[in-house]
Amino acid sequence: MDPQIAQLVDISQSQVAMQARAEMVLERARWASQVFQRYDRQKTMAIADAVAQAAHAKAAEYGEWAVRETGFGVAAHKTLKNELSSVPLVDYYRDWNFVDPRTDERTGVIEIPKPAGVIFALVPSTNPIATLYFKVLSALMTRNAIVISPHPAALQCCVDAARTLSEAATAAGAPEGIIQFLEEISLPLVDEFMKSEKTDVILATGGTPMVRAAYSSSNPALGVGPGNAPVFVDATADLKAAAGHIIDSKSFDNSILCTNESVLITLDDVASTLERELTRAGAHVCKPEQADALRSYLFHERGFNVEALGRDATWIAEQAGFKVSRNTKILVAPIDMIGVGEMLSHEKLCPVLGYFVANSVNQALMQARALLRLSGAGHSAAIHSNDTQTITDYAAMVEVYRVVVNAPCSQGAAGFATNLAPTFTIGTGFFGRSSVGENVGPQHLINWTRIAWHKDGGPIDSATMGQLKHPGPLPKAPADGVPGQSRPVSMTPPASGPHSTPSHDDLREQIRLIIAEELRDVLKD
């Protein structure tokens, strides 16, 4: 065919084609989720453990790959994040039961877990592998199917990681298609996945426009908002420890986590000592002209300069036109105000920390509140203090849903240096226009059906209740109707890949198997 004619009839990028591709993937995921819901808790956790082990084994490889592909971050730090979001994540939730019924002994209400079904998961370029690990394992622990949509800037490492986890899941006995991924990314295709009726919930981690698109898709969505965390250091704090925690946090993975400290707020009477401790710990406290140079480099008329995203402090200083010690971990930029007119009080996903000196505790609290009103509402804040009343007043004043005390905020708000739930999806709640204010986890990917009796009947003895049936993986069908013989039924069509779907004949055979199994259960009863 003439190339010009071929171009005229090419409809591969049309809305109809995009919709068809999305529907095929989601139909396969829906089938897998329905089969997965037959599994008991032991089999479910065995699959999660196998996938977590596979993820942990390749944490370093993918940490290095992510830095190489995206161009930002620190490989060793990404490796650590990848490790923490694999085996330790499953261990954290090991005692949570997302499979079996539970009973409220006070009311007698019985609750039966119901998985969401099909999860469409957006993965950002900032923490690609750790977020992918986190979302996949959260889905598996709750017997959900998941479709991964990587950020284009981290596409190759995410595709390889998703394939690794998918293979580990099926090898451990998970249904085919329980983990799928997009190998080609376009906004129209992602939009079709988000608005499809076959998508049960969207896990949106990424930029504000993408998260807003998820919320406007008409499907349930769990999204996050931007961070802009204030950190307040008062006169009762251990200043050496505070400086160390702040620098450990702000330099971690070159401050690519949205939980990092954005502006340090302190008081006149401790400012000089704190600055000295910051310098000793690896900070460069900028002179006024250097702060001006940073402001000009980091922000332009369209917002933050993405070239600085996840870059190290020495590189940023050089780009801004001044030099610092090669051992410098973060740049501290003094500012005279917090608000719209001061760009250094906006979110900065790089190791540059705004620095404001308040004349009283009350002013410090008000400035921390003002910072979050500027951006970052609902996200995170930190405080270094040994005065419990000040800590309480600060937590009550700032409009966030997690306040980290005497710990690094980057790791602490994400649950890796505190006892908060470990996560790579931070809920920003009502303040941040999000549907959840907690650290998002597997518990948010199920709902519970509640069985409630008339209150005058008294509490029900749970020991007399019926047991939830978990028949397990689908049995193999008899071969050609010959008793005693069986043949494997493929749940994967001949054409492989994340956009493939079972053929019409395969789907019909799979449906027949389900019906046959259900009939056998009925006849047994």
Catalytic-role residue among 157, 258, 286, 350: 258
Q: How many CB atoms lie within 10 A of CB 149?
A: 23
139, β-bridge pairs: none
Q: Report the distance separating Cα 414 and Cα 424, nearest Å.
A: 7
Q: Residue 454: what residue type?
A: H
Which whole-number Å values give the CA distances from 111 to 93, 98, 287, 289, 316, in the listed order?
A: 19, 11, 60, 62, 54
How far is the first Cα of the chain from the last one, in angstroms, to the nearest whole number?
Answer: 62
112, β-bridge pairs: 449
Residues in CB range of 200: below 8 A, 6 or more apart: 116, 117, 118, 119, 144, 219, 220
User: Where does 355-448 have alpha helices with state H?
Assistant: 361-374, 388-397, 409-413
Closest by CA to 120, choosing from 145, 143, 137, is 145
258 is an active site residue: yes
Residues in CB range of 438: below 8 A, 6 or more apart: 401, 421, 427, 429, 444
Q: Residue 133: what residue type?
A: Y
- Please tell me whether residue 127 adopts helix, strand or coil conformation: coil
Q: Report the distance separating Cα 425 and Cα 438, nearest Å.
A: 9
Q: For helices 128-141 and 59-70, what crossing angle results, to 10°?
A: 130
Q: Report the distance separating Cα 247 and Cα 329, nearest Å.
A: 7
Closest by CA to 233, choosing from 390, 412, 416, is 390
Q: Which helix (H) or strand (E) holds 4?
A: helix 3-9
Long-range Cβ contact pairs of 209-214 (< 8 A, separation 24 or more): 210/122, 214/122
Residue ranges of E strands in 35-140: 102-103, 110-115, 118-122
Q: By CB neighbour count within 10 A (0-12 exposed, 13-18 middle, 19+ buried), where does 252 fall?
A: buried
Q: By CB neighbour count within 10 A (0-12 exposed, 13-18 middle, 19+ buried), where does 348 fall?
A: buried
Catalytic residue positions, numbered: 258
